[in-house]
Structure 1
Amino acid sequence: MTETVEAPLAAVFDERIAKVFEVFDKSIEDGEKVTLAFSGGKDSTTLALLFYEWIKLKQDISLEITLLHNDTSSEIDLMEQWARNFMDDYKRRIEESTANRVKVSLDIKTPKAIDTFYWRMLIRGYPAPSFNFRWCVHLLKEKPAKLDSVEGKLFTGLREAESSERKNLMRKKYGNSCSASPGGCMAYYYSSEGKGNKIAPFRDWEDADVWNFLLRYRKRGDFNISPLFTLYPNPKVRYGCWHCTLASVQWGLHTLGSGLEYFEAVRILYRKFSDLPYLRIKKTTGYSKLGPLNATGRSIMLNLISAAEELSNNRLYGLDYNKLDGVSLREILFDMDAAEATKFIRKFDTNIPEYRYVKISRVRDISKNKRTVLRAIRDAYDLCLNDKAYKFLKMRDEDPLIKLLDRLRDRLA
């Protein structure tokens, strides 16, 4: 096939890429509106690059493309910077190369300030997510993105090989195989849910296929994707919310350096502190009798985040980016007069159940219950000793988790 197709990226135009182009050919009509889901990760970047190369083969096609990017406000800052820079470059290159026959718009979604991780954990006391209580997925991803409301074709970089959970989910939504999918092999790439407009054109690619494409593209392609390789120093790295406790190890936080390992320590400790019953409010309903983090639990987490920023010399951009009436979450949680902050909280989050509500002055004051905090530090550390992520983390010359816990003790003085 390489010999018969004249493509700008002929050197990498193999059978797998040809199949993706076939999906585009059979899915997209001239004049259509098309949406590409773009997170900035390796898979969505591969999707965007493949789509770009396909467009270069279509001399007369006119399209309206939307790059749909969901900024959870919980990404690693380097990833979010890369994603936004790439989107700007993508828009410019496509519109210039097609003389504006193909228009690109950027649609950046973000959760409301009261739905962010920081608000839900520190103001409402949400404990670390579990597989039975994945509160973060809906609030940070599904609710802002509203993928089911997207008009026209929605292309994604979803792949079965990403995880066993992803494989099972895709086989439920997309069918098990070409022969098992209604309509044959093309239907294999289409979701059967909702409008049936979601398309995963390389769902059967392995990790090696993605990296093989990206490695060759870095040498021959039009875009500078070197920053992506900085973000992925090894194949184990996955990206998403930095605080995700559903991941056993956040390899990106381990391998990128620049102080990000302190946030891996926060992530590990968030799970452990959430598992201590005396840091939770008891409840009488639901599968678990442990409710929100109590005042001491929230105070520990607020001070952990603050200490991690200090020790790493990194600011979590979500605390500055998300605002209520022009006031950032950082100001409300850390800086504003406590009485004024309380007014903001009561004004904008009117549905906080009373049993969840804790005054911000109490959340800020970690010394209020010194004995319980010291007990929690000891117990959480004991729980960390058998944690897979911590075993990797403590291999460093200086253990960031120990340094964080020491900083908490210092704040009790």
Structure 2
Amino acid sequence: MAAVFRLIVRSKRDKDAVEAMVSRFYRGWDVRVESLGGARSPEKMLERLVELGREPGFYIVLLGREDSEAARFLERRLPANFVVHVVPRARVRNARLEQLMAETLAARAKFRLALTWCSWGYCLGWRGETLEDYSVGPGFDLFIGMEGFTRAIERLSGARIGRNPVVLKASNGLHLVYSGRRVKARITIGEGSRFRPEVSVRGDVEPLDNDLKLMLAHNKTMLEALVEASKAFLKTLGDYDTIVVPWSGGKDSTAVLLLAFEVYGRRKVRVVYGNTGVEFPQTESYVEKISSMLGFKPIEAYAGIDRILGNGNPLPTLDNRWCTERKIKAIEDKIAEIADGRTLILVGDRDSESFQRERRPPVRRSVNIDATVAAPLRLWSSLHVELFLLSRSIPLNPLYHKGFYRIGCYMCPALRNWEIEIMITDSTLYLNLVGRPIFRKFIHNRLYRRLGAS
């Protein structure tokens, strides 16, 4: 096994306490715990951390409350693959094991949510000013609101929003849309909801444009620290005869695809495209475009969901997502067919996606086929993924530009009311889909539920 992150504490007694926590709550994760040898001054701590950080990887530094000043000193000087987190006890070893587990989860969230406002714009890390009403929590995520996202806000509110705002996806469907360091809009979005999204825009906050090229240029060093840490994680996995990336055409699996090419080379990586039969036309075109750009031919795993629904079977629901099982089985069957020798499957799972994925080991054995599964993006945010793709001159799936946060099938029961709103108000998207009976049935059911609740 290989660890996706390491834990660092100040003293040996703190190390003993954290190792006990790892033994109980992180079995199978292969997490290493190291100490700073009792270093007390911030300068000595930094010197030791720089020495440890010469080996690329993700590092979590846990300090007690008595070292709060040192923590502030360190977090402004360390690269993006380091997180400094203060445990709310005088010393780390004073915390109960359950609390240490919870604080480690909170520290993991800081990797993807480290963002502040600098003189030139948004900066990855904690070097600048804190964003208004900003908080860090499990399940929170950051992403760029592309042009379709801002158009949807403007259509629902009648107010102007700046281009490419940074959005904090918080809890209970709340999304904070930033203009500079201030909150310009608040959106409440429902998972599978029958109601329209709720949008509130502040008139006292000036709409500012976010220049993505400038943001990428100023954050290149911090972004590449994350990239190198994930590549180092992949290199620790050992040698495999077959490397497989299940590809959906979404941003996460596309980012994993690029990482795999950079680490293993294109010839060794097999790309399996999971085609459900009910993909958005934009995704189908995107898969063709990117495979042509990068010079590979994806192997299709067809799930046949369109045929099943075409035979009169009921649509999947949130309580019965049989479609997901069909897609996974089709992909696993195809991988088993092409696998030769030791097989490694690289997936785009990230901590913020679900409680289950947050607690799943980053390296595990597949349940159904003879293969190892690894998730190199576990500590990334959607923002990191978007910037990484742009840094490699790889365009995003057009659906993100339409305003989507996540991409799946056009009849997915988990589609949020935000994506439904875009699907029925974006004329190009709607006209692409309205001729498909499955879409008409799906959208009728969702709109009927909405009207029935009004």
Measured against the shorter chain, the TM-score band is: 0.3 to 0.5
Give TM-score, length-normalised by structure 1.
0.47
Give TM-score, length-normalised by structure 2.
0.43
Higher strand share: 2
Higher helix share: 1
